[in-house]
Amino acid sequence: MTYVSAGQIDAQAPADLPAGRVSLKVTYSGVESAAVDLDVTPTAPGLFLWGDARGAILNQDFTLNTPQNPAARGAAVILYATGQGKVDPEVADGTASPADPLARTPALPEVTVGGVPAQVGFSGLAPGFVGLWQINVVVLQSAPAGDNIPVRIALGGAVSNEGRLAVR
């Protein structure tokens, strides 16, 4: 577990958890929750969101992407997500990812900005964090401009939720 509050639990599933249906229960102070059935798949991309469905995205200068601080077409942005599946080299469960060597996804995801494919330069675990997927992409010149441009990630046949990106 990486975070716990009254309304939220952030936990990392074991990397060797086999694909299929599993049952999850939480025990707190000796009280067990009802079981929740979950489907485990090799990948399940999920873009982290904040506010009004804005993607957890940093601009090329490492500032937060907002309508007041949009990314330029042709510039790099960093997306933060979860559900990338296995990485190479493997990182032990619950361990922060190292900076050397970088733990990369075996395949690059497809990222679209306003339906236009972005150029993916890196896909792997963010160094210093537990299980945080970092994707570095270049927003192509042909991408649409606006305050609420949809962004999606696809990997291993699975497609993420939609986040919003500001592009000028």
Q: What is the pLDDT of residue 3?
A: 85
Contact assessment for residue 17 and residue 93, using Cβ atoms and an 8 Å cutoff? no
| Residue 45 CB coordination number (10 Å) | 24
- Pairwise pLDDT comparison (121 vs 9), residue with the higher score: 121
Average pLDDT over residues 110-138: 97
Averaged pLDDT for residues 45-61: 97
Q: Give tens-digit pLDDT for 82-117.
A: 999 999 999 999 999 999 999 999 999 999 999 999
- Mean pLDDT, residues 61-85: 97
pLDDT in the model for residue 13: 87
- Residues 65-77, mean pLDDT to the nearest whole number: 97
Buried/exposed 69-106: b ≥16 CB within 10 Å, e otherwise:
ebbebeebbbbbbebbbebeeebeeeeebeeeebbebe
- Sign of the alpha-carbon dihedral angle for 79, 134, 109, 10: negative
> Does pLDDT of 48 surpass 90?
yes
